[in-house]
Amino acid sequence: MIDGKVNYGVVSTAGIAPRFINASRCTDNSIFTAVASRELEKARVFAAENGLEKYYGSYRELYADSEIDAVYIPTVNLTHYQCAKDALKAGKHVIIEKPMVMHKWQAEELFALAREKGLFITEAIKVLYLPLIKKVKSIIDSGTYGKIRFMEFKQSYVSGRYNSGWMKQKEMGGGLIYGNEAYFLSLCDYLCGGVKDCRTLVTYGNFNVENQLCVSLLLNGNILATSCVSSEVLFDNGLTVYLERGRIVIPDYWKARKAYIYADGKLIDTLDYPVEFEMQYELQHFSECIISGKTHSDITSPQLSLRNMEICEKLLQQRDECIRV
């Protein structure tokens, strides 16, 4: 460690990586010093642009660096499992960007390997650490507006990485189900305590992965939740939680900064939690776990990731049974 801070390296120069690195600079226990890419020049440029001391032309070189305590993995979905397995075998703590892996058995194997080696591993599901989401949870639990009866999630991408490259390739782990299941399912678990049943319908465009989907969940407490995701049209993105005596609207819920509370059809309160790099809260927690010797988080726990992946596998099976027009 460096001055009591967990020293991280990142494998891949993915677009999300600079945001995670900048988030570390908002914590008091985390620091990034190295990057690895399959192309040395890409790693060199990335290191210079992001203020990192070291760069490597292969992931294994970074894993072999004795000064690196932990590895952040934001690579192509298909490669999460092997990258995490290699890092654990090299003695590194591991944070994997969501979705953790592509199959439940892979997650089970990684959690078991981490326990065996006394290393920390977790899936990065930032939404569960956001101050605004925690505040919304406390309001719901207070019963002020009654119990949750329905939740509506909407998320759309009409440009950017979800509409191009490997995200359009099924064999690489692309598609909207893998891209969104962690946030949607984790919030349902956090706010309502679990999923009892799931159904999905999808449409396909010019690629072999879904371009739109609608997921319906039956949650504990006789609560329904829907998630609509599209790369074809632009929604009014966000989460609306419908309670017996009001509703809470959270724009861009996966990086929530604001929420609006309505009762009797009128806006009665606004919650405002500005933050530049929303990943700082999860990273602060992950480093605290590593420093204290834990092998997993109690928030983004192994049980949560395994439940999410089990549901995701059911949704993917239903996806593949949908008629292509």
Whether residue 50 is found in the same domain as residue 155: no
Strands 223-230 and 148-156, by their bridges, are parallel
- For the entire predicted model, the pTM comes to 0.94
Inside any domain, residue 288: no
- What Å distances lie between residue 85 and 63, 88, 93, 115, CA to CA? 11, 5, 10, 13
In our burial notation (b when 16+ CB lie closer than 10 A, e otherwise), range 31-62 reads bbbbbbbeeeebbbebbeebebebbbbebebb
Whether residue 75 is found in the same domain as residue 216: no
First to last CA, the chain: 55
Q: How far apart are the C-alpha atoms of 37 and 310, rounded to whole Å? A: 31
Residue 72: which of 285, 281, 283 has the closest Cα?
283
Q: Tokens 């639990």 belong to which residue?
A: 141
Last residue of a domain, one of 97, 124, 151: 124
Whether residue 10 is found in the same domain as residue 107: yes
For 102, the domain range is: 6-124
Last residue of a domain, one of 65, 97, 124: 124
> What single-letter amino acid sits at 309?
M
In three-state secondary structure terms, 219 is strand
pLDDT recorded at residue 164: 64
Total structural domains within the chain: 2
pLDDT recorded at residue 161: 64
Inside any domain, residue 297: no
Whether residue 14 is found in the same domain as residue 153: no
Cβ neighbour number for residue 296 with a 10 Å cutoff: 19
Whether residue 31 is found in the same domain as residue 140: no
pLDDT recorded at residue 323: 72
In three-state secondary structure terms, 196 is strand
In three-state secondary structure terms, 298 is coil
Whether residue 112 is found in the same domain as residue 138: no
Whether residue 117 is found in the same domain as residue 133: no
The token pair that represents 77 in the structure block: 């979905």
Q: How far apart are the C-alpha atoms of 20 and 5, rounded to whole Å? A: 15
Whether residue 211 is found in the same domain as residue 89: no
Inside any domain, residue 283: no
Whether residue 138 is found in the same domain as residue 265: yes
pLDDT by residue, tens only, the chain of 325 residues: 888 999 999 999 999 999 999 999 999 999 999 999 999 999 999 999 999 999 999 999 999 999 999 999 999 999 999 999 999 999 999 999 999 999 999 999 999 999 999 999 999 999 999 999 999 999 999 999 999 999 999 999 877 666 667 677 777 777 888 888 899 999 999 999 889 999 999 998 877 788 899 999 999 999 999 999 998 899 999 999 999 999 999 999 999 999 999 999 999 999 999 999 999 999 999 999 999 999 999 999 999 999 999 999 999 999 888 877 6
- The answer to whether residues 119 and 231 touch, using CB atoms and an 8 Å cutoff, is no
Residue 162: which of 127, 124, 109, 207 has the closest Cα?
207
Q: For residue range 114-171, list pLDDT tens digits in order.
A: 999 999 999 999 999 999 999 999 999 999 999 999 999 999 987 766 666 767 777 7
Whether residue 70 is found in the same domain as residue 87: yes
In three-state secondary structure terms, 315 is helix
Residues 6+ apart with CB under 8 A from 255: 126, 127, 130, 278
- The answer to whether residues 168 and 209 touch, using CB atoms and an 8 Å cutoff, is yes
Give me the active site residues, please. Answer: 98
Phi/psi region, residue 3 (left: phi>0; alpha: psi -120 to 50; beta: rest), is left
Whether residue 60 is found in the same domain as residue 150: no
pLDDT recorded at residue 162: 62
* Type and span of the H or E element at 6: strand 6-11
Residue 242: which of 136, 156, 132, 155 has the closest Cα?
136
Q: What CATH number is associated with residue 108?
A: 3.40.50.720
